[in-house]
Structure 1
Amino acid sequence: MQRISLSFPAPGYWHATFRNPPINLIDPDMIEEMFDLVGRLESDPDVKVIVFASADPDFFLAHYDVLADKARIAAMQPGPTGYHPWIDVMIRLARAPIVSIASIRGRARGAGSEFALACDLRFASAEKAVLGQFEVGLGAVPGGNPMARLAGLAGRGRTLEIVLGADDFPGPLAERYGYVTRALQDDELEAFVDRFARRIAGFDKRALAETKSIVDDVTLPPDTVFPPVLAQFFQSTARDETRARSASLLRAGLQRRSAVEFDLGRNVAAKHDA
């Protein structure tokens, strides 16, 4: 099953839609499709802007698939950066000579939040967007190092609140913290993002790419800060305590279209059956 579908609304403007039922988990197949798509974005001379959205109004990208085949994950070959494909995708997307926009309706947590943070711009539904980094609530280190990107967007204190509190941030609060670029009324989100993308698609690509590169130079964290944190993530998820917390949440409904996933920020702090 294809997890990312592409459409081309206008010259220079690509639109990518996530579709991985039941809740848009980021699994190895999704990572491989993202990897291939970033390669296309880097090499196509005509694309100027891409919008990422979800076919599921409740989940933009839920989070990493904690039940994914660990052997397959370990065997994934490094990308052009020399790093694990998940880290590679986010580094290359952030530095690609195009403008990437996350149009967030529904939940973007964990790796889903990390992907959104790697995009250049994040526009969110004020009523329906929910972002969060819940990993510490399970006893794990957030693997994609969202801390490095959030620190530049939200500042130290708010970054610590987001990652250590492991709670949910609705669209308006995420906007106030700098977690998202702007929160819009839900019925205005798609039209606003489409107008903005079409506007950018009408500009000169070289001017867009060169200007973005200058901003990247003074705002993006060094690429080298990401791989060690992914290693810490894998180590932390192997601990008995973390496995026990994850297993408890899985029994309660994690990774299913359940009350646990809809209200994950509260549920990572709740007591579940042992």
Structure 2
Amino acid sequence: MEETKTKKDIYYEVNNEIATIYFNRPQKRNALTYEIWKEIPEIINECDSNPNVKVIIFQSIDEKAFSAGADISEFKTHRYTAESAAHYNEQTMIAEKAIMNASKPTIAMIQGFCVGGGCEIAVACDFRFSDEKGKFGITPARLGLVYNTPGTKNVVDLVGPAKAKDILYTGRLLNAEEAINIGLIDRIFSSENIQEETKSYARTICDNAQFAVRGSKRIVNEVLEGATEDSDETARLILDSFVSEDYQEGVNAFLDKRKANFKYS
């Protein structure tokens, strides 16, 4: 089943249980406008509530840039005063949190530049896969700005405080090799294979029990927020998994030495 939305500056398609969200401003290296930031939570909510979607992928419409960051041309309209900047920043954090809090796994498939707001989106995802030409940076220090707390926490969670400070203090660009060495990204694929490899990885997730996948994501997120023991809700989640049809199917498939056919979506 395939679903396609109008091809605006950001749009998405659903195919084979995978939603692909495309940045579609190639002439601007997918610079992020205020309207794009506004649309991200709406798209995430649509994908999250769609039973035909099991994994969400962010990518560019072309190979040159995942996103080169915020559209600087908007800074004198949307971010020039404290009041307008607060409004703009609130919207970027709403978008960022929508990605972080999506119940379904998210992957940033990165080709070329992944800078500023583009990197902010990527680090909010569960996984970051890059081609060998990936370039990564978070550059508010070059503009005299201070990076927001949720975005900073995501970077610290990935690379640790010292390397996060290096990235933020210098605003320098990291190549894909350095990015994977410090834990900023998870995989490097060739430009020729990254589409196929990313979809194959997403397919592996789709084929697993979705109750377990989403439960695991929820618990990992709670651990990142400081949890060290099960809450009442996560304890119930774990117990519910033992009485689910998918658990019975998983056990029977294992004993029968066949591929499981999970039903939960």
1:209 maps to what in 2? 214
Equivalent residue number for residue 164 of structure 2: 159
Displacement of 1:143 in angstroms is 3.9
Alignment partners' CA distance in 1, 2:67 and 2:226: 23
Would the aligned equivalents of 1:113 and 1:132 in 2 still touch at CA under 8 Å? yes
Q: Indicate yes or no: 2:24 matched with 1:24.
A: no
Q: Tell me if the contact between 1:35 and 1:85 (Cα under 8 Å) persists in the aligned partners.
A: no
TM-score by structure 2 length? 0.74
> Deviation of residue 168 (structure 1)?
0.3
Residue of structure 2 equivalent to 1:219: 224
For residue 75 of structure 1, report the CA deviation from its aligned partner: 9.8
Give the one of 114, 118, 138 matched to 1:108. 114
Secondary structure, counterpart of 2:112 in structure 1? strand
Aligned partner of 1:42 in structure 2 is 48
Equivalent residues of 1:114, 1:144 under 8 A apart: no
5 Å-filtered alignment, 1:37-116, equals 37-68=43-74, 69-70=77-78, 74=84, 84-116=90-122
- Aligned residue pairs total 216
Identical counterparts, % of pairs: 23
Q: Select which of 146, 164, 183 maps to 1:178.
A: 183
**Any idea what the Cα deviations from partners look like across 1:150-200, whole Å, max 9, x if unmatched?**
111111111111111110011111000111112222222111101011111
Task: Give 3-state SS (helix, strand or coil) of 1:84's partner.
Answer: helix
Match of 2:174 among 166, 169, 176: 169
> Helix, strand or coil: the match of 1:90?
helix
**Counterpart residue identity of residue 53, structure 1:** Q
Gaps of at least 5 residues in structure 2 are 1-6, 228-265
1:197 aligns with 2:205: no
Asked if residue 6 in structure 1 is aligned to residue 48 in structure 2, the reply is: no
**Distance in 2, Cα, partners of 1:87 & 1:221:** 20
Asked whether the equivalents of residues 58 and 108 of structure 2 are also in contact (C-alpha less than 8 Å), the reply is: yes
Determine which of 122, 125, 145 is the counterpart of 2:128. 122
1:39, distance to aligned residue in structure 2 (A): 1.6
1:5-61 CA-to-partner distances (Å, cap 9, x unmatched) read 322220x21111110132211101211221210221332234210111101322111
1:137 equivalenced with 2:123 (yes/no): no
Judging changes above 3 Å, is the alpha-carbon distance between structure 1 residues 221 and 39 closer, same or farther for their aligned structure 2 residues?
farther
**1:233 matched to which residue of 2?**
none
SS at match of 2:19: strand
Return the index of the structure with the highest Cα Rg.
2
Aligned Cα root-mean-square deviation (Å): 2.5
Q: Distance in 2 between matches of 1:91 and 1:118?
A: 8
Partner-residue secondary structure (3-state), 1:153: helix
Indicate if the aligned counterparts of 2:12 and 2:43 stay in contact, CA closer than 8 A: no
User: What's 1:150 paired with?
Assistant: 155
| 193 and 221 in structure 1: CA distance in 2 versus 1, 3 angstrom threshold | farther
How far does the alpha carbon of each residue in 1:68-125 deviate from its partner, in whole angstroms, 9 at most, with x for none?
23289949989xxxx9221111112112110000000010111110000001100011
C-alpha change, 1:71 and 1:184, in structure 2 (3 Å) is: closer
Instruction: Tell me, yes or no, if the aligned pair for 2:14 and 2:53 is still in contact at 8 Å.
Output: no
Counterpart of 2:92 in 1: which secondary structure?
helix
Higher relative contact order (CA 8 A, sep 6+): 1
Letter in 2 for 1:22: K
Report the alpha carbon displacement of residue 64 of structure 1 after superposing the two structures with TM.
1.0
Give me the whole-angstrom Cα distance separating, in 1, the residues matched to 2:194 and 2:226. 29
CA distance in 1, matches of 2:196, 2:84: 41
